[in-house]
Structure 1
């Protein structure tokens, strides 16, 4: 024990000599530093500790000075780091270089602490020592762990989604989920190897100007809100797909990035095209078509219906079924609707009333339909004026022949 105290005192004398024996000043300087400091000799014995080091480890000077590094790590209950510390000491002493390592220990409140230890060779009064500097990096480590956990949760969730997710930063894809691979046909390795701006090959040439304008404006801060646009995506095999993009600026890895979601609109666009074709076919059908609901409101009429009655579409859509069918009235509509629901579909003859007051016979096929939670009556009307005229002429002809035959 006396030998260790002597060594510590010898070091202090040499140290003070280097500061011209200004003890209070030299110790005050060391204690004011924001890093913890141990001075260690070539055998790994701790000769000095400043106030910050004692605070970090919650130890007294007596628990540190005179102890070996091995004993110090035992006190911290972190002996597994002994070999790393001793190896770092040898390397710094032998090669006059610096070393950094990180270690963990549990403090007196059983809280896990991360410490960065930096080894530097120093010379005091022609003797070689090591300045072992400590920084408590627990806060940063906890943040890194939380960030890692958050990123892992984000990755797991994004892989379950049916939309492509991308994080753009500096015109480069920094993150993407599997759906982007499925959507584009490019492998993860191919996407990850793209240079900044190379993702532009995913955008159809005719759509690049508009899409890139949105992306550039985001980067230069002209757009700070959620942006939404569509473009044609060109996959690896040349297939063209309509996609919809939603993009929002987010903080990402000490900077700002774009969190972008891409929705494949291929099926939606096909449905839209099919619906437009169906609508076009219905609008231009030669048969007059009317759609009504349970209160007798007309909710759709095609061009043939408008032409047959002499009304505009806007006029008809503000009318009731019994406004154009004089054989129907508000009083009997409810019974008619119930009959229609029970029978589903049937054909009958009635009359339609034109805007100019003309009345003409029609044969109508009525159909009861349910879609979602709504009920509809689809009516297809056929003008049978010619047929009725022919029937009347035939009836008169038959009557004439019967009368002539009666006098024979």
Structure 2
């Protein structure tokens, strides 16, 4: 009986181990099935994402490039070559000199400088516009954007990804707008100059023969001609702002630029007894002419829309984050109600409270255009109980 009992115990132990092994095998198989299912779902998600990205690239006709900075290896997609009329096979070999073979020599140095800046500050985006020679001989305007996406263990930039987009139609459209504005402004200014000149002659030679009402009519005519001339100038500035995106950028000391603008506005500042405070401002990589116009417009606006019997106080400051410089221009003027803060950036838009002040409603629209062409945004906040804080950002594009 003892032997039988021992035998049964052994049998039970064996069956228990077998059942436990089977249970463990089932758990293992279940774990494997879950792992395989998760991996399959992940792969399917990757495929869908790749398809979605391909659809986006095809829909926007965007070319892609990938650069291994350490090895120098460059990879372009087929669209990259097709933008300039080639196939990938036709532009072989692809290396670091490929771009130089097709880029306009006048634009290449600026593009290379921006790449160098991006490699130095890896948190920044790279952006450049330049011409590339098409297979049939004409030049294609390219918007090139990229970013460092990985680094080596020592922190050196490793890989950079980017896109190419043909912006030739946009470039041509902006140039046509600028040409039209220049011609139109010249053609419209000439009759206005004649009106002003003859009105001044009439006023000078015949004022004593005219009654008060006639003299007032002359004043109205001259004032209207002057306002129309100012409007044409602002239209021209707005049109030029659209064509400035391709100008060469440079490092600009914003403090020096604001001091220059303060000198230009000294008479107006003194007449109004205004105080202009300029904080610590950065160096920015931007187009100097439109940036100067941007600050000039914002300061002029702040000085124009002031409360009576109140000393105007303007303050310009700047802060930064990883990708943007943020500038603020604050004033203690009449302010802008929250419900109107979007529409003041529309062309020719003036608020009811602003009609007693001179202006065309184009200044802030021009500012918005300039800011957007520097990769930024512009908006308005309250400045305490009175006044506004007008804030804009400029992307730290290399």
TM-score range, shorter chain: 0.3 to 0.5
Q: Which has the higher contact order (CA 8 A, sep 6+)?
A: 2
In proportion to residue count, which structure has more strand?
Answer: 1
Q: TM-score, normalised by structure 1?
A: 0.36
Q: TM-score normalised to the size of structure 2?
A: 0.37
- Structure showing greater radius of gyration is 1
